[in-house]
């Protein structure tokens, strides 16, 4: 059953957005009486379509209990990368359970912050919304505005702070995450295609980040982000 996110329920009914209404009518070819899943404020409702114009309206048939989210909160701080790579990172980490993504400008980032950032962010938020619907999540991750390394280092509201690195004699991510407690808040920093400079790595370490290895292979930045969330999801299933 197709899933959609709607912010507000009024008198046991939901009015869907213009984009979602178009998707329901033109892409999914639904009609009156068809049922859809609607998520609102973390709750999931089986709902029946009762109106098609000007926007789709659906009435609640049943509220269902489900728990799809990970037992820990994970923020991915991802250095800016080219558009297709960023799209892939957002889509796949959302499917795997990310809570928040913070794009940031590293010294070796090929992509730079520009005047189109707001449009990019709107597009990124749409990508995570669609990935959340496809993967049957009950929340949509937030994509924050692009930060500098200095701004990223000032964030303090995390129990676990990890920096992905290729340094030798660094702890394996599996060993670091095996003892993480339920309800913990974690941030993981992944660098750009060219990696971090030594100065940047030292800045993160001085700010309390633990360096972490993803294994002996050197992974592409987009592979690293997806790999991390795969490990987190796997360990959360124990």
Q: Which domains does the chain have, with CATH numbers?
A: 3-64 (2.40.240.20), 73-236 (3.40.1280.10)
pLDDT above 90 coverage of the chain, percent: 66
E strand map for the chain: 3-5, 13-15, 35-40, 43-51, 57-64, 73-79, 100-105, 142-143, 147-148, 160-164, 171-172, 185-190, 210-213
Residue 36 has phi, psi (to 5 degrees) of -135, 165
Give the model confidence (pLDDT) of 64-117 as tens digits: 988 778 999 999 999 999 999 999 999 999 999 999 999 999 988 887 777 677
Helix (H, G, I), strand (E, B) or coil at 61: strand
Band of pLDDT at residue 59, cut at 50, 70 and 90:
very high
User: Is it the case that residue 168 has pLDDT exceeding 70?
Assistant: no
Closest-CA residue to 117 (of 99, 105, 131): 105
| Letter string b/e over residues 195-224, b meaning 16 or more CB atoms within 10 A of that residue's CB | bbeeebbebbeebebebbbbeeeebebbbb
Per-residue pLDDT at 153: 93
Instruction: Please tell me the pTM assigned to this model.
Output: 0.89
Question: What Å distances lie between residue 77 and 91, 144, 146, 176, 224, CA to CA?
Answer: 15, 10, 10, 18, 12
Whether the per-residue pLDDT at 6 is higher than 90: the answer is yes
**CB neighbour list of residue 236: distance below 8 Å, 6 or more residues apart:** 70, 71, 72, 97
Is 211 within 8 Å of 198 (Cβ atoms)? Answer: no
């Amino acid at each position: 059953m197709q899933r959609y996110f709607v912010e507000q329920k009024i008198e046991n009914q939901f009015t869907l957005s213009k984009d979602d209404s178009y998707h329901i009518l033109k892409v999914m070819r639904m009609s009156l009486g068809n049922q859809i899943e609607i998520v609102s404020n973390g709750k999931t409702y089986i709902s029946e379509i009762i109106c098609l114009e000007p926007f789709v309206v659906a009435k609640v048939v049943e509220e269902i209990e489900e728990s799809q989210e990970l037992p820990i909160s994970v923020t991915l701080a991802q250095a800016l990368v080219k558009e297709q790579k960023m799209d892939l990172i957002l889509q796949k980490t959302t499917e795997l359970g990310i809570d928040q993504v913070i794009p940031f400008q590293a010294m070796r980032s090929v992509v730079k912050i520009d005047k189109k950032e707001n449009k990019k962010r709107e597009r990124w938020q749409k990508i995570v919304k669609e990935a959340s619907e496809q993967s049957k999540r009950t929340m949509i991750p937030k994509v924050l505005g692009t930060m500098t390394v200095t701004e990223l280092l000032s964030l303090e509201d995390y129990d676990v702070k990890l920096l992905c690195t290729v340094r030798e004699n660094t702890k394996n991510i599996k060993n670091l995450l095996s003892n993480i407690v339920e309800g913990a808040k974690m941030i993981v920093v992944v660098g750009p295609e060219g990696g971090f400079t030594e100065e940047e790595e030292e800045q993160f370490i001085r700010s309390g980040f633990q360096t972490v290895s993803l294994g002996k292979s050197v992974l592409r930045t987009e592979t690293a982000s997806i790999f991390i969330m795969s490990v987190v999801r796997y360990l959360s299933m124990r």
